[in-house]
Amino acid sequence: MKLIADLHTHTIASTHAYATVTEMAHEASQLGLFALAITDHARTMPGAPGPFYFESLGLLPEYLQGVRLLRGIEANICDYDGNIDVEASLQQQLDWIVASMHTITLDGKATVEKCTNAYLKLAENPNVNVIGHSGSEYFKYDYDKVIPVFAKNGKLVEINDSAFRYGRDYVGNCVTIAKLCKKYGARICVDTDAHFTNTLGRAYNTLEMLEDIDFPEKLIVNTSVENLKAYFDEKNISY
């Protein structure tokens, strides 16, 4: 299996990432990717750009260097009711929303019950495409209760390759989540969360893990152009 799109990446706009949109698109083009989602951090992450940056993303062309550029954001799930730090009007304007929990933007008093509630509520937000790196050890949730709801509501459960790159202790959670996505028929996306060009599109560890557990390719939206286009059609995303 091979990635045909990277659906969670950052640029210098995040201020702790180091390549421009043009450089990221160039790298994606060199790798032969069909699509690239630029998803800089939303406003409550320290150093993140303000709403005007995201409101202006429409200035970017739909295709850059032959790659479909999704104008997106990585929203912070900012409370345990599943709210995100992106205005409703901006949510509707963007092509692509990854919503994630981060220790830096959510209080440290997470419990399985609170995170389960947050994800169940988040699953009802029609503008959210991807549930970002939910394998975090800090924000464990009731996988068996929530993953079927992600499946039912068409949310893409992200398996984030950075867990493997940094040898983080939540690799085991990612495997468990992937197995449950297979069991409940939840679609997934495999992303790098690249903060520079050198990791973009290179999710080798995750792809190997998915092969090991015999994960069905029909449930992965970004290893086949056909699967991704089908998802875009469903969500009225042009290409």
- List of residues contacting Zn ion (CB under 5 A): 100
The residue among 50 and 89 lying less far from Zn ion, judged by its C-beta, is: 50
Which pairs with CB-CB distance under 8 Å and at least 24 residues apart come from 109-116? 110/80, 110/138, 110/139, 110/140, 112/140, 112/141, 112/142, 114/80, 115/80, 115/139, 115/140, 115/141, 116/141, 116/142, 116/145, 116/146
Cβ atoms within 10 Å of 79's Cβ, excluding its own: 15
Q: How far is the CB of 133 from Zn ion (least distance, A)?
A: 6
CB of 74 vs Zn ion, minimal distance in Å: 5
Nearer to Zn ion, 80 or 184 (CB): 80
Q: Which is nearer to Zn ion, 100 or 173 (CB)?
A: 100
Q: Closest residue (Cβ) to Zn ion?
A: 100
Of 177 and 227, nearer to Zn ion (C-beta) is: 177
Minimum CB distance to Zn ion smaller for 46 or for 167: 46
State the nearest-atom distance from the C-beta of 98 to Zn ion, in Å. 7
Shortest Å, Cβ 222 to Zn ion: 17
C-alpha dist (Å) from residue 159 to 59, 163, 184: 30, 9, 16
Rounded CA separation 122/91 (Å): 13
Smallest gap from Cβ 205 to Zn ion, in A, equals 17
Nearest CA to 13 out of 4, 1, 27, 23 is that of: 23
